[in-house]
Amino acid sequence: MKAEKLVELTMAGRDASHDAAHAFRVRDLALSLAREEGLHDPHSLEVVELSALLHDVGDYKYTKNLTEDTTIVEKFLEEEDLEESKTVKVLGIIKGMGFKNEVSQISCVDTSLEFGVVQDADRLDAIGAIGIARCFIYGGSKNQILHDPLVLPRQDLSKAKYMSKDEKQTSINHFYEKLFKLKDMMKTKAGKQRAERRHKVMEDFLAEFLEEWNGRA
């Protein structure tokens, strides 16, 4: 599949928190959620697969931009001669699915099932055992410290602060600022069900981490 090749090419060299394997996991999760939700239309499934595969190609965390850059995706879809309705839908999902939009209380205008399963899949990959691993891999790539009890999680987290590439934070604070919030932000029934287990994995991990950090375990 040409989209897979594009993902491998454009995401090569990134740390393992946002590499091609992440995109492939999100694709597989999204299609699985779609099936559970009764989405079988080939047109919709193609939108789901392409959106999931390509959602992080222009991730602002790995570019010089402060917003998602869909230039590469747009060019790819144009070269593939994807019909306009699918192109519009794919780009809309990619641009609207980020956590930063809900941080800034930008309401999601796309209430479609295609949007829901792709966003839920991306968020499922951010929590649970893989989410824990990704959190620390990304933190390590940015030289973040693991934990500092004196550095409290940010309560007034604006979109600008969340997207800032300069503001230093701890990896543990990311659990409070984002990861623990995702369970209640799932859009689909299937996503909510899977998130429950993954959320519990994180709660258990963090409890053990803090016990060990404080010398009690």
Around 32, how many Cα atoms within 13 Å sit in the side-chain half-sphere? 14
Cα separation, 6 vs 10, whole angstroms: 6
What is the reported pLDDT for 81?
Answer: 96
pLDDT, tens digit only, all 217 positions of the chain: 899 999 999 999 999 999 999 999 999 999 999 999 999 999 999 999 999 999 999 998 888 765 668 999 999 999 999 999 999 999 999 999 988 777 655 555 678 999 999 999 999 999 999 999 999 999 999 999 999 999 999 887 666 666 665 667 899 999 999 999 999 999 999 999 999 999 999 999 999 999 999 999 8
To the nearest 10°, report the CA torsion of 77, 82, 85, 88: 0
CB 139 within 8 A of CB 132: no
Task: Count H helices and E strands in the chain, helices first.
Answer: 11, 0
- What DSSP assignment string belongs to 162-206? HH-SS----HHHHHHHTGGGGGGG--SHHHHHHHHHHHHHHHHHH
pTM: 0.92
CB 172 within 8 A of CB 209: yes
Closest CA to 129 of 55, 203, 191: 203
Count of the separate structural domains present in the chain: 1
What is the reported pLDDT for 60?
Answer: 87
- Domain containing 84 equals 2-213
CA 122 to chain centre: 4
Q: Can you give the CATH number for the domain in which 94 is found?
A: 1.10.3210.50
User: Residue 134 carries which side chain, given as an amino acid letter?
Assistant: R
Residue 113 neighbours by CB under 8 Å, 6+ apart: 34, 37, 39, 44, 188
Sign of the dihedral defined by the CA atoms of residues 146, 64, 121, 177, in that order: positive
CA 63 to chain centre: 16
Cα separation, 48 vs 79, whole angstroms: 19
User: Residue 207 carries which side chain, given as an amino acid letter?
Assistant: A
What is the reported pLDDT for 165?
Answer: 56
Residue 173 neighbours by CB under 8 Å, 6+ apart: 151, 152, 153, 154
